[in-house]
């Protein structure tokens, strides 16, 4: 049984801006880690890599996400870095307009009795509408009929990059190529 989870890691630190003035900055990443200790180790390596402790860096806030890895959808909106950090590859946005979106969905398990459950999908996209349309395509690809799910809401997530295993990135990109056909 795989007990790995997604962790949201939030950093608050001080750094120089373009005018060489010290200002407060924030960074939020999401990582697929085996446990809290592994997420904390990744956070410490990111602090070192990004030189966040040069002026001042608070302890990172690490939160286990309830969203399973299977509900993280990928497409070509993010680029993978080939340099591994704790065995994970960084996915980042090259375009300023792209962001991670959370799309909340109600999936009906028994239409006649109205039984359902709620879940959410996390995915990179250029807009909320594009994110919703992609989740719809994904659910249809997974075999759901359009009357078996309802999009409840969507929102932008402040996460700037994802850290995933190269295997999960390849698998998710392969799924994306099948959805887009």
Tally the residues of the chain.
181
Task: Answer with the residue of higher pLDDT: 181 or 135.
Answer: 135
9 burial (CB, 10 Å; 0-12 / 13-18 / 19+) is buried
User: Where do the H-state alpha helices sit in the chain?
Assistant: 36-49, 128-141, 166-179
Q: How far apart are CA 31 and CA 91, in angstroms?
A: 10
pLDDT at 110: 87
Which pTM value belongs to this model? 0.88
pLDDT at 3: 57
Contact 116, 98 (CB under 8 A): no
Tell me what the mean pLDDT of segment 51-73 comes to.
92
Res. 35: pLDDT tops 60: yes
Tens digit of each residue's pLDDT (9 = 90 or more) over 68-105: 999 999 988 898 888 888 889 999 998 888 999 999 99
Q: How far apart are CA 123 and CA 142, in angstroms?
A: 16
Q: How far apart are CA 41 and CA 85, in angstroms?
A: 10
Instruction: Share the mean pLDDT of the chain.
Output: 91
Q: How far apart are CA 72 and CA 91, in angstroms?
A: 12
Tens digit of each residue's pLDDT (9 = 90 or more) over 133-157: 999 999 999 999 999 999 999 999 9
Q: Please give the structure tokens belonging to residue 92.
A: 């980042």
Please report, for the chain, the start and end positions of each structural domain, with discontinuous segments joined by +: 1-65, 69-157+164-181
Contact 164, 86 (CB under 8 A): no
Pairing between strand 161-164 and 22-33? parallel
Q: How far apart are CA 49 and CA 92, in angstroms?
A: 15
């Amino acid at each position: 049984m795989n007990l790995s989870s997604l962790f949201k890691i939030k950093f608050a630190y001080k750094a120089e801006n373009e005018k060489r003035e010290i200002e407060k900055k924030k960074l939020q990443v999401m990582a697929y880690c085996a446990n809290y200790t592994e997420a904390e180790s990744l956070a410490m390596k990111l602090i070192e890599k990004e030189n966040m402790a040069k002026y001042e860096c608070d302890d990172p806030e690490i939160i286990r996400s309830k969203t399973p890895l299977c509900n993280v959808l990928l497409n070509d909106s993010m680029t993978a870095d080939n340099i591994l950090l704790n065995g994970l590859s960084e996915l980042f946005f090259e375009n300023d307009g792209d962001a991670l979106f959370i799309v909340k969905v109600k999936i009906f398990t028994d239409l006649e009795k109205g039984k359902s459950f709620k879940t959410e999908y996390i995915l990179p996209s250029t807009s909320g509408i594009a994110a919703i349309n992609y989740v719809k395509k994904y659910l249809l690809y997974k075999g759901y009929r359009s009357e078996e799910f309802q999009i409840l809401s969507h929102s932008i997530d402040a996460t700037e990059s994802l850290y995933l295993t190269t295997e999960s990135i390849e698998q998710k990109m392969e799924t994306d190529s099948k959805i887009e056909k």
